Amino acid sequence: MNAVEATSRYFKQAVRILGLDSRLERCLLIPFREVKVECTIPKDNGSLVSFVGFRVQHDNSRGPMKGGIRYHSAVEPDEVNALGQLMTWKTAVANLPYGGAKGGINCNPRDLSVHELERLTRIFTQKIHDLIGIHTDIPAPDMGTDAQTMAWILDEYSKFHGHSPAVVTGKPIDLGGSLGRVSATGKGVLFALEALLADHAKCISNQSYVIQGFGNVGSWTAQLLFECGGRVRVVSDITGAVKNEAGLDIPSLIKHVQKAGGVAAFPGADYVDPNGIFAEECDVLIPAAIGGVLNKYGT
């Protein structure tokens, strides 16, 4: 089952519960617009390389469409479509005046220099600038992108439409970004977890945790759990997995990742096989990497 099929399956279950008619169901499943663009850039060595970028604008009936842009080698049309759908449902459930969208470029950002990432972001923006805007579609950071990526999009978009800081969220504070945005998703995980544990008469500080993924969401979740007295035993990312039975020193691990580029070789822990992270003993498992990792195969 691919990403669109999985998302649509749950949507159809909700349709039956809500008693929506088939016409409305079809309208809500079909995206407003799907865009696929070619992005060719010069690399630092002078050679040319091409990437494919996507933007799916799913629904705008509640307001401007809203959704992140991710840079990852697994980005493909079905995934972007499914994530765009989910943004529509999330903004509606939260009663926010936005619709849903999602975008991305199929690339491995770790293989590109900062200058190459800037060129790629700017050419992608050139290809979609007439389809996004403060009243139309507002991008945001996602996997593999950050505040700097949003700053490049803002600058490139402004070349065509004038200075428009509201065209993206998640931009640097100096360009009009919001305080607390970087930690927001991690805090969302913490708040949801606190509510879940409270239903079982438990609290954060008395539990052990395993976290898959140590990007923005995973690292902030780990930091907040650590500050609340939680014992984060195992953490993994694309470079490997590390374990400390007594609990990882998360602030030190974050400093290590900033210098080394990943959790591998962290001196305050033992190395473990990242493929076996879901078999590690814990009270709470937090998948904070790509989607689709929890399935019938157990990986």
1 pLDDT tier (thresholds 50, 70, 90): low
Encode pLDDT of 194-246 as tens digits: 999 999 999 999 899 999 999 999 999 999 999 999 999 999 999 999 999 99
What pLDDT does 244 receive? 97
Please report, for residues 34, 209, 231, 241, the alpha-carbon distance to residue 246 in angstroms, rounded to integers and kept in the order given: 48, 11, 7, 16
pLDDT at residue 18 is higher than 80: yes
Please report, for residues 21, 53, 130, the alpha-carbon distance to residue 157 in angstroms, rounded to integers and kept in the order given: 40, 16, 9
pTM: 0.89
Looking at per-residue pLDDT, the higher value among 292 and 225 belongs to 225
Q: How many helices (H) and strands (E) does the chain have?
A: 8, 10
Averaged pLDDT for residues 80-90: 95
Q: Is 38 helix (H, G, I), strand (E, B) or coil?
A: strand
295 pLDDT tier (thresholds 50, 70, 90): confident
Give the separation between CA 101 and CA 82, rounded to whole angstroms.
9
What pLDDT does 4 receive? 86
Looking at per-residue pLDDT, the higher value among 7 and 123 belongs to 123
79 pLDDT tier (thresholds 50, 70, 90): very high
What pLDDT does 298 receive? 59
pLDDT at residue 297 is higher than 70: no
Give the separation between CA 64 and CA 133, rounded to whole angstroms.
8
Q: What percent of the chain has pLDDT over 90?
A: 89
DSSP lists the bridge partners of residue 51 as: 39
What pLDDT does 206 receive? 87
Residues with catalytic function: 102
Averaged pLDDT for residues 274-282: 92
pLDDT at residue 89 is higher than 90: yes
289 pLDDT tier (thresholds 50, 70, 90): confident
For 36, other C-beta atoms within 10 Å of its C-beta total 12
What pLDDT does 233 receive? 97
What pLDDT does 268 receive? 86
Please report, for residues 24, 49, 55, 84, 204, the alpha-carbon distance to residue 15 in angstroms, rounded to integers and kept in the order given: 9, 44, 26, 18, 35
Please report, for residues 163, 189, 284, the alpha-carbon distance to residue 100 in angstroms, rounded to integers and kept in the order given: 24, 21, 30
What's at 95, amino acid-wise?
N
Q: Is the dihedral of CA 118, 122, 124, 125 positive or negative?
A: positive
Encode pLDDT of 101-147 as tens digits: 999 999 999 999 999 999 999 999 999 999 999 999 999 999 999 99
